[in-house]
Chain A
């Protein structure tokens, strides 16, 4: 009561805030005053009043999911990001990363001006340059390398994003064949495995599933919307979740954790198939109608009994048998989750092949609650590039000429390409490296080798928003705008619902940051002065992003202005129907048009048409290193984001308590982790959530860039420890094939 009196008394004398509230209430004229006040005294004033500012819908880019966001902008300052409730994929939610987008924009470490190196590489001595000078510098170097070594003397690296196309086209028009994209650091083996069995990677109906099996996929920490939301909904509706993973991730914590011995996942899938066939639990109608090679599979998996699998995987035979029976009961509402990053082991493609095979035995395809082919994408207008195709040299490592016939050649094999250039075992020398939106120094196995490659290069240009490890080693850094400062090409995701979203500038660029299209145009114009291209480069890139977007939107009944107001558009006609594959009306994109237990494609290319298990090689006394992420980090992109870094300022190595006791390692103390290729010092985190034969390090720490002031000097880098091993079919990196020694420091 007393409190009430004081409060009323206090508030009656008009406080600053009360006064403003009054202004707002009395009329619209006061609104302007309020906004200007808010912008001036952001930190002092009570928060929240910004919400009367402008709301601009856009698309997030803190990871690759591209959630719908609403940005609240007051006087040109971004004050808050909220989820866009109209986005069917994200339905108003954002994650910690999405919320921390503001800190990516206003990061004090951000690169705001073109920087040219003045000291030694990696010394961190830079000089600010004008854009004209920067473009000339890049063009001079590109021209020099092309003159001396040809365009194939350039390595052209970038990661998937909406704007990547402009950077890629510049490389294509220059004539380099040496692209290095993210696929072989990530999901190439999954794609090829699924492609070999059923012609593509299916979506998963997690919301309606009754039984969900995830092999290592950590959907609740490594978000893939709407799957993580659907998974929680599915669990709430009573689905059983089984997570097969050597460590207990958040996803495993929400379900049944099967702590499998690493690299033996295929033994489990084969044994599951063994039980399903032996106990006559498989979907006979489905198998007869849409699959090929069942008899061969039957005799093939006869050798893989649950008792045998128990010895391989450390999962009790009883558990495997029960699992198969439970799956059969829940079928066809069973999701065998394809996963995303599959750069685990050297046999990964063959293991991934067994997942759709298991799915086919259960008949869990093209059905509610199972795997399915989603509605696909909205058809956007094509942009026609003004340049005819011309001959290019073969890749430096011969990747396009045979060693990996099933792999996607445009993506390149990253490890192979790096090593061919570094060891000069390639077809020709490569001396220049242009990198956009990628951090190979952190992303590639055996970081020390990548560092050596950088030292070897004559010229390195990095286009980045922050001084990443790679940018730190570059000769010139060109500052790009963040996703909050630029217009991007229209995006249409594949999912249950078709729609398009726009990413548009919500604030003006910080400093002199430019969009990648502007940067490409600048380089193109500077190149035109030095070399003759037909047609001239500046003509090829002589368009604005607005024009590009308008061309994309041309076939749709919506224009750019309306879309930028509403942020999202979806066709009223949504044709998502299940069952066409089951009924045999649609064919799979395999040679036989069916799901192939015996893969014709694999046989033709000289691989085992049926997946054959090979046991892992053990190294007693050592631990296998696995890597992953926490929910608030994306690769190595935002460990330096102040708000996100505060959640986990330093990474640590997960060690099983038994191992720690044996080695005398105490929790929180620093240990030395040694592998055949590297050594790091890192804090020990002793937890029963990991197998004794495995250790885990969160990726993205241990930066060499002093420019990342929040992150620098904290934690250890996992990629420094990893050996250069790769999947045998796709050259996808094998990140989990390194045995390390944990030594008490």
Chain B
């Protein structure tokens, strides 16, 4: 009974998972089912922390994402930008892995005329391809250039933290493949999760905080071309996105 009461606050997906767990537990005592319900009870807010100090710009994440999500060629859910600065011999090279920032106050959701783009209970912003009419408002609205029209579905597409992997209890593809563990994924609402502790104990920053989108993707050691560089107009700066088109910041 108590399980049913819980599911009203859960998404349908969560409900199905519950049913599956119940089916698996048929014949066993009721305790595990209740335990599952208890674990899923608190509202999750999934987020990612990217430690750019550990990132070596190897693009394992980009290709893993392409493979996992069948991202069409020429489109990108996940990519890495190289930022070169300075003059010889005092040059620098930094890496900026990029993906949808899964904002808590996303502009893509507020402009979507059909509500195809929505925030799930667990904080992940997703697009319902069956509802999307492909009007591209969200692509214009996104300050992170994280969206594209998937030519196969005609709908807007972007990173969804590999929802299907999450449902199987696995990490997103980019996180799992990163051998330097530059990416940490987890529940920001759980104060004991590794990501919560890392966010609490490090100087973290987000991309374009001035947009007020409240991103859930955090960075340690963030360095990219920004307004600080305007003070050095003669400095060499190059951002290589490794994407086919040039992106706007």
List 12 interface pairs A-B (beta carbons < 8 Å), by A numbering: A3-B109, A10-B130, A21-B13, A46-B164, A92-B179, A94-B60, A95-B177, A95-B179, A236-B53, A643-B73, A647-B242, A688-B236
How many chain A residues have a CB neighbour from B under 8 Å?
A: 73
B196: Cβ under 8 A from any A Cβ: no
For the complex, is B6 an interface residue (Cβ under 8 Å from A)?
A: no
Query: How many A-B Cβ pairs are below 8 Å?
Result: 185
Min C-beta distance of B190 to chain A, whole Å:
22
Are B58 and A229 within 8 A (Cβ)?
no
Interface flag for A82 (CB, 8 Å): yes
Chain B: minimal CB distance from A686 (Å): 8
Partner of A253, one of B11, B23, B93, B120: B93
Interchain CA distance A108-B57 in the complex, whole Å: 28
Q: Are B88 and A658 in contact (CB under 8 A)?
A: yes
Contact B115 A7 (CB under 8 A): yes
Check: B32 CB closer than 8 A to any chain A CB.
no
* Least Cβ–Cβ distance between A223 and chain B, in angstroms: 8
Instruction: Give the residue name and chain of the A residue nearest to B87 (CB).
Output: A688
A51 touches B130 (CB 8 A): no
For A235, the chain B residues whose CB sits under 8 A away are 53
Closest chain A residue to B79, Cβ basis = A647
**Interface hub of A25, A90, A250, A644 (most chain B Cβ within 10 A):** A25
CB-defined contacts of A98 to chain B, threshold 8 Å: 60, 177
Residues of A within 8 A of B63 (CB): 96, 99-100, 632, 643-644, 647
Instruction: Check if B177 sits within 8 Å of A646, measured CB to CB.
Output: no
State the CA gap A112–B90 with chains docked (Å). Answer: 50
In the complex the two chains form, what is the Cα distance from A692 to B67 in whole Å? 40
Question: Quick one: which of B167, B177, B179 contacts A228, CB cutoff 8 A?
Answer: B179
**Residue B91 at the A interface, CB < 8 A?**
yes
User: Do B67 and A93 touch across chains, with their CB atoms under 8 A apart?
Assistant: no
Binary CB contact string for chain B from 53 to 64 against chain A (1 if under 8 A, 0 otherwise): 110111110111
A296 within 8 A of B: no
What chain B residues lie within 8 Å of A21 (beta carbons)? Answer: 13, 16
Interface string of B127-161 (1 = CB under 8 A from A): 01111000000000000000000001100000000
List residues of A whose CB falls within 8 A of some B CB. Answer: 2-4, 6-8, 10-12, 15, 18, 21-22, 24-27, 42-44, 46-49, 51-52, 80-83, 90-96, 98-100, 102, 220-221, 223, 225, 228-229, 232, 235-236, 248, 250, 253-254, 257, 259, 631-632, 642-644, 646-648, 656-658, 687-692
Nearest chain A CB to B119 CB, angstrom units: 7
| CA A142 to CA B22, docked complex, whole Å | 67
Checking B16, B92, B93, B178 against A25 with a beta-carbon cut-off of 8 angstroms, the contacting residue is B16
Having A99-B177, A221-B56, A688-B236, one finds 14 other A-B pairs with CB under 8 Å, namely A3-B118, A12-B12, A18-B16, A46-B129, A51-B164, A81-B67, A93-B178, A93-B179, A95-B179, A98-B177, A100-B63, A221-B58, A253-B94, A656-B88
Return the contact of B163 from the options A48, A52, A691 (Cβ within 8 A).
A48
Query: For the complex, is B201 an interface residue (Cβ under 8 Å from A)?
Result: no
Residue among B12, B67, B70, B73 making CB contact with A8, cutoff 8 Å: B12
CB within 8 Å for A91 and B115 given contacts A99-B64, A647-B62, A658-B88: no
B-chain residues with CB within 8 Å of residue A83 when the two chains form the complex: 176-177, 179
Q: Is B168 an interface residue, CB under 8 A from the partner? A: yes
- Residue of B58, B73, B119, B244 near A96 (CB, 8 A) is B58
